[in-house]
Amino acid sequence: MTTAARADIVANVWKIVVREGDPVAAGDELAVLETMKMEIPVIAPSGGHVVRICVEEGQIVQEGDPVVEIDGTPGA
């Protein structure tokens, strides 16, 4: 089952830290958003492997938009 790490605030995608296929653990930083001059980390809600990057750097995301999708296979 895939789960998405979502944007928790309207923001600009500043940088994407992971690549598709990377193993991740719950709590890992996947991407960093920029809003109100603050660097807002997007955190993995659970462990697994990155199956899809849903955004591009520089793109605007709305609150609730998926940023990175992770599958449930055992990660790092």
Does residue 41 touch another protein according to CB under 8 A? Answer: yes
Does residue 19 touch another protein according to CB under 8 A? Answer: no
> Among 16-24, 29-37, 49-57, 68-76, which window interacts with another protein (CB under 8 A)?
29-37
How far is residue 1's CA from residue 49's CA, in Å, rounded to a whole number? 11
Does residue 65 touch another protein according to CB under 8 A? Answer: no
| Closer Cβ to another protein, 19 or 37, answer by number | 37
Please name the amino acid found at residue 39: E
Name the nearest CA neighbour of 31 among 1, 2, 3, 61: 61
Name the nearest CA neighbour of 66 among 42, 35, 38: 42
Give the one residue of 58, 59, 63, 73 binding another protein; rule: CB under 8 A: 63
